[in-house]
Structure 1
Amino acid sequence: MNYEEALDYLLNHLPMFQRNGAAAYKADLSNITKLCAALGNPQQHLKCIHIAGTNGKGSVTHIISSVLISAGFKVGIYTSPHYLTFLERIKIGNQLISETFVAEFVSKNIEVFKTIDASFFEITTAMMFEYFKQEKVDFCVIETGLGGRLDSTNIINPLLSIITNISYDHQQFLGNTLPEIAAEKAGIIKPKTPVVIGERQKEIQAAFIEKATKEQSPIFFSDEIVKVNSLENFNLNLTLFPERKNCVFTTDLSGFNQEKNLQTALASLLCLQKMIPEISLPEIEKGIKKIKETTYFIGRLMVIEKTPLVIFDSAHNEAGIRNLLAQIERFEFEKLHFVYGTVADKDIAKVLSLLPKDAIYYFCKPSVPRGKNALELQTEAAKFNIKGNVFDSAEIALSEAKSNAAKNDLILLAGSIFLVADVVSQFAVNGKVQV
């Protein structure tokens, strides 16, 4: 089996959340447990940092990874979904997993996959464990796929658990209230293992404290360790506690949401210092300077072109869109052209209520089966006095927006990771987006 055949099997012949939605969701961890047992439990040989949360998981994963790499470590990174290529999901630093490893792993274990009826994400997670074991990484930073308690990644015993924040997303799996969603995310808290909570949210912090107390796990809220005061022009102003030391670092990240993510990541790194003394303040300062380049981090507030300004962002739920719009207000532009698409299994009313009424909208469907029909999206948007035309694809919508925009306008493409994936390939060189 070559790579193309292995990829076809993974993407087209297995239950997969981005295609099948709820049908790909498993109610327990028995499959991943059996699969990893068949591989000799590679996850037991790894030193992991485990990250869950509604928003910010990917950013925190890459920030922490960049600092660990700066400190001299070989770091495995696991995130999802992907933009250009499946290989993005599993990488060491900024080097993607090889096509050869993927092909050999699938070929060697396909009968096991069939026997236990493994899903796409279960197989990919097991592949990640095996790859990082074989490559002898020093540490791996692992992002959950969905939720926490029942996520396939949740068979590890991490050095540190991190929960970025909680907001509404995937309610059909995780619950309809914030405390219910928080309880699912809190499922990654392990016995006697420290946990960092990124954002202090009064209505749900009790769920985290209760779980941590039950597991005898030290719990820290990020604002007890570090406070990000501002992030402007790539200058990060922060205060370290308890000494109240003020620092100003340079970073290549920008955006209101990245203030929160940097605070969560830096608090987590400072917690890890006791276990990994190489994480010094100078290494943190060095590590956050070139996060995108060091870890191949894409998809967040990507400035694609400057005249007119074209920005892609993966914001896809209420909290993410709210943060994105707050950041967009910091840019100078005359007219906003918004290329917008989403998936069908999300309640988008709250998102639509946030969108500016004076923008020009270009509605389109992400090219995954879960993508929401653009005509239906247009109809729902009209209820909120949001008007625009429908296009057959994100590529066509973006082209039309670029044709209509004046040089001082802003073109924003957002609403779904899959929407960004549909168009970002236009700007790739040798299979990678330049960061």
Structure 2
Amino acid sequence: MQKYQETLDFLFQRLPMFTKVGESAFRKDLDNTIALLEAIDNPHKKFKSIHVAGTNGKGSSSHMLAAIFQQAGYKTGLYTSPHLLDFRERIKINGQMVSEQFVIDFTERMKPEIEKINPSFFELTVAMAFEHFATEQVDIAIIEVGLGGRIDSTNVITPEASLITNISYDHKNLLGDTLPLIAGEKAGIIKAGIPAVISERQSETKDVFIQKAAATGAPLHFADEEWMGAANGTKITNTHLDLTLLNIRKQETRHYKLDLNGQYQEKNVMGVLSVVQIMQQRGWQITEEHISTALAHVKRLTGLRGRWEVVNQHPLTVLDVGHNEAGIIEIMQQLRHMTYTSLHIVTGFVKDKEVEKVLPLFPGNAHYYFCKAQLPRALDEVTLTEMAAAHGLDGKAYPTVQHALQAAKQHAEKDDMILVCGSCFIVAEAL
């Protein structure tokens, strides 16, 4: 639809977009979001929600929660970012993307407000999502934080529960340069009296959450006090993860088959299950069968992509959006479970990531294809190749992701493995 493409061009060009320009698009308060929402009669007050923050795992956790509520028969909204292929991936109901017509109509209607308020791309997108969920009268919406939490545009909602997944170093220029400072920003989504779940207890950050919960009177749940992975209970295949978890309080064992097959998903699942328990206690009708069916079909129910996604078997080709230190560590741990003859890694980064911290995590014996996503924030592929060489990583530079992927496919034998990672934008262009 030509009109839809024109609308997207307007949004991408008129509004500052963090994924393209970085820090200059980040707003340090909620004023614009509040003004936009007031102009459309505060849609965020017309539906129930769950708020999800964290450095890594918040996207996967949001999709798992959406799948569970959807499977339980609830009309479920899902707001996530960034998108991989189509802008509309950010705003879904029961796995269906918002219509092109809604995006066109909303943008047209908001043009006077855009001129008056001058919002960022993300601020307008949040307002669009909330309007869509209110208009369609969703039973619940799973809302993923964009960046941080305290001053993220999504932090105007009063959710039924809050979930914070994992805290690691990312966006240090905006969120702080220590884990407690970053955790303090994420803890900003904890609201007075609203239960909060922490997926992964970390010694450096747990006190931040305990203090924030105490100050706000929010019941606090650490998922690892409620769930435990059974010894040798996690089995990995190319297509799924077999999980055996012990419900510590009930002393019951639960078996789940998860169609997101990175081992790192085990921690995310525990956080998700703790949130579901809270929602069950609050009267939401979710059965054990709903949970197990949903976890086995997260991708089909929600359309999630790019999380240890196997796109080819011979050679085994995997795409993962992991891009910061913690994300790359998880990918490298996952690699240890894979069987292959030679490893080919297609990778690129954006300039504001701590590439020097990430490069030493990569294996020295892989073949590298360094490339650059087509956006201004992307790190130059020649610069990356030189940086990598200093860490003993040998490879060639390619001007685009497609050139790099094509070269990897040409060099890989059928028993080899190709891994594509480094940023959402690298994965998006590979897809």
Task: Normalising by structure 2, report the TM-score.
Answer: 0.97
Q: Distance in 2 between matches of 1:112 and 1:307?
A: 52
Q: Distance in 1 between matches of 2:273 and 2:249?
A: 14
Aligned counterpart, 2:25: 24
Q: Distance in 2 between matches of 1:277 and 1:13?
A: 41
Q: Distance in 2 between matches of 1:310 and 1:250?
A: 22
Q: Distance in 2 between matches of 1:136 and 1:228?
A: 37
Measured after TM superposition, the shift of residue 145 of structure 1 is 0.4
Aligned counterpart, 1:82: 83
Aligned counterpart, 1:188: 189
Q: Which runs of 4+ in 1 moved over 4 A?
A: none
Task: Spell out the pairing of 1:307-322 with structure 2 (5 A cutoff).
Answer: 307-322=314-329
- Does 1:401 pair with 2:402? no
Comparing 245-254 with 86-95, greater Cα deviation is found at 245-254
Q: Distance in 2 between matches of 1:363 and 1:251?
A: 32
Aligned residues: 424
Residue of 267, 271, 286 corresponding to 2:293: 286
Residue of 329, 341, 352 corresponding to 2:336: 329
Measured after TM superposition, the shift of residue 277 of structure 1 is 3.4
Letter in 1 for 2:298: I
Contact 1:231 1:255 in 2 (8 A): no
Deviations 1:258-285 (A, max 9, x none): 1111111111111211123312222212
Measured after TM superposition, the shift of residue 227 of structure 1 is 2.0
- Does 1:40 pair with 2:47? no
Aligned counterpart, 2:362: 355
Task: Spell out the pairing of 1:378-397 with structure 2 (5 A cutoff).
Answer: 378-397=385-404
Measured after TM superposition, the shift of residue 24 of structure 1 is 0.2
Letter in 2 for 1:414: C
The secondary structure found in structure 2 opposite 1:358 is coil
The secondary structure found in structure 2 opposite 1:48 is strand
Q: Distance in 1 between matches of 2:255 and 2:92?
A: 30
Aligned counterpart, 1:205: 206
The secondary structure found in structure 1 opposite 2:310 is strand
- Does 1:254 pair with 2:257? no
Measured after TM superposition, the shift of residue 249 of structure 1 is 2.1
Comparing 341-350 with 34-43, greater Cα deviation is found at 341-350
Q: Distance in 2 between matches of 1:243 and 1:160?
A: 22
Deviations 1:187-210 (A, max 9, x none): 000111000001010111110011
Measured after TM superposition, the shift of residue 387 of structure 1 is 1.4
Measured after TM superposition, the shift of residue 52 of structure 1 is 0.3
Measured after TM superposition, the shift of residue 250 of structure 1 is 2.1
Q: Distance in 2 between matches of 1:340 and 1:146?
A: 23
Measured after TM superposition, the shift of residue 166 of structure 1 is 0.2
Aligned counterpart, 1:15: 16
Task: Spell out the pairing of 1:95-244 with structure 2 (5 A cutoff).
Answer: 95-229=96-230, 230-232=233-235, 233=237, 234-244=241-251
Comparing 112-121 with 270-279, greater Cα deviation is found at 270-279
Q: Distance in 1 between matches of 2:392 and 2:5?
A: 46
Contact 1:46 1:139 in 2 (8 A): yes
Measured after TM superposition, the shift of residue 346 of structure 1 is 1.1
Q: Distance in 2 between matches of 1:11 and 1:228?
A: 44
Contact 1:231 1:254 in 2 (8 A): no
Q: Distance in 1 between matches of 2:41 and 2:133?
A: 14
Letter in 1 for 2:349: T
Comparing 180-189 with 261-270, greater Cα deviation is found at 261-270
- Segments of structure 1 that go 5 or more residues without pairing to the other structure are 425-435
Q: Superposition RMSD on alpha carbons, in Å?
A: 1.0
Measured after TM superposition, the shift of residue 248 of structure 1 is 1.3
Aligned counterpart, 1:433: none
Letter in 2 for 1:419: I
Aligned counterpart, 1:2: 3
Q: Distance in 2 between matches of 1:78 and 1:346?
A: 24
Comparing 220-229 with 74-83, greater Cα deviation is found at 220-229
Contact 1:52 1:147 in 2 (8 A): yes
Measured after TM superposition, the shift of residue 251 of structure 1 is 2.2
Q: Distance in 1 between matches of 2:173 and 2:183?
A: 14
Letter in 2 for 1:199: E
Q: Distance in 2 between matches of 1:141 and 1:231?
A: 27
Aligned counterpart, 1:427: none
Comparing 222-231 with 102-111, greater Cα deviation is found at 222-231
Q: Distance in 2 between matches of 1:406 and 1:2?
A: 45
Comparing 227-236 with 7-16, greater Cα deviation is found at 227-236
Aligned counterpart, 1:301: 308
Q: Distance in 2 between matches of 1:404 and 1:198?
A: 40
Q: Distance in 2 between matches of 1:237 and 1:361?
A: 36
Contact 1:56 1:261 in 2 (8 A): yes
Contact 1:249 1:285 in 2 (8 A): yes
Q: Distance in 2 between matches of 1:156 and 1:117?
A: 22
Aligned counterpart, 1:268: 275
Q: Distance in 1 between matches of 2:96 and 2:289?
A: 25
The secondary structure found in structure 1 opposite 2:392 is coil
The secondary structure found in structure 2 opposite 1:337 is strand
Comparing 27-36 with 3-12, greater Cα deviation is found at 3-12
Q: Distance in 2 between matches of 1:253 and 1:240?
A: 21
Measured after TM superposition, the shift of residue 4 of structure 1 is 1.6
Q: Distance in 2 between matches of 1:251 and 1:205?
A: 28
Aligned counterpart, 1:431: none
Letter in 1 for 2:126: T
Measured after TM superposition, the shift of residue 286 of structure 1 is 2.0
Residue of 338, 347, 352 corresponding to 1:340: 347
Deviations 1:373-400 (A, max 9, x none): 0111111111111111000100000000
Contact 1:228 1:262 in 2 (8 A): no
Measured after TM superposition, the shift of residue 362 of structure 1 is 0.4
Measured after TM superposition, the shift of residue 323 of structure 1 is 0.5
